[in-house]
Amino acid sequence: VVDLELMEQNLHLMARCFESRLAKLRPHFKTHQVIELARRQVKAGAIGITVARVHQAELLVKSGIRNILIASEIGSASMIERFVQLSRRAPVIITVDNRDVISSMARLAGDRAHDLNVVVDLDLRLRRCGVPPGEPALDLTKFVLSKGLNFRGLMGYAGHVHLPPGEEKDRAAIEPLRALAETKALIERAGIPVEIVSCGATGDHSITSTFAGVTENQAGSYLLMDAWYAPCAPEFKPALSLLTTVISKTDGDRIIVDGGVKATSGERGLPAVKGIPELRVRALNAEHTTIGIEESSNSILVGDQLELTVNFLDATISLHDRMYGVRRGKVEEILEIVR
Ligand SMILES: Cc1ncc(COP(=O)(O)O)c(C=O)c1O
Question: Is residue 308 within 6 Å of ligand 1 at its C-beta?
Answer: no
**329 conformational bin, left if phi > 0, alpha if psi -120 to 50, beta if neither:** left
Question: Is residue 157 within 6 Å of ligand 1 at its C-beta?
Answer: yes
- 94-121 burial string, b = 16+ CB within 10 Å, else e? bbbbbeebbebbbebbeeebebbbbbbb
pLDDT of residue 251: 83
Question: Is residue 244 within 6 Å of ligand 1 at its C-beta?
Answer: no
Q: Please identify, by atom number, the ligand 1 atom nearest to the C-alpha of residue 219.
A: 11
The structure's pTM equals: 0.96
User: What Cα–Cα distance (Å) separates residue 250 from each residue in 2, 121, 280, 282, 295?
Assistant: 31, 55, 16, 16, 11
CA of 205 relative to ligand 1 center, distance in Å = 11
Mutate to test the pocket of ligand 1, among 122, 221, 225, 310 (most ligand atoms within 8 A of CB): 221
Would strands 2-3 and 322-327 be described as parallel, antiparallel, or unpaired?
Answer: parallel
User: For residues 95 and 109, what is the distance between their CA atoms, to the nearest angstrom?
Assistant: 17
Question: Is residue 219 within 6 Å of ligand 1 at its C-beta?
Answer: yes
Question: Is residue 194 within 6 Å of ligand 1 at its C-beta?
Answer: no
Question: Is residue 159 within 6 Å of ligand 1 at its C-beta?
Answer: yes
Mutate to test the pocket of ligand 1, among 157, 208, 235, 311 (most ligand atoms within 8 A of CB): 157
Question: Is residue 218 within 6 Å of ligand 1 at its C-beta?
Answer: yes
The residue among 310, 306, 339 whose CA lies nearest residue 322 is: 339
**Complete DSSP assignment for 131-164:** BPTTHHHHHHHHHHHHTT-EEEEEEE--TT----
pLDDT of residue 252: 84
- Encode the chain (339 residues) as per-residue pLDDT tens digits: 999 999 999 999 999 999 999 999 999 999 999 999 999 999 999 999 999 999 999 999 999 999 999 999 999 999 999 999 999 999 999 999 999 999 999 999 999 999 999 999 999 999 999 999 999 999 999 999 999 999 999 999 998 989 999 999 999 999 999 999 999 999 999 999 999 999 999 999 999 999 999 999 999 999 999 999 999 999 999 999 999 999 999 988 999 999 999 999 999 999 999 999 889 999 999 999 999 997 656 789 999 999 999 999 999 999 999 999 999 999 999 999 998
User: What Cα–Cα distance (Å) separates residue 310 from each residue in 249, 331, 334?
Assistant: 23, 19, 19
Burial class (CB in 10 A: 0-12, 13-18, 19+), 300: middle
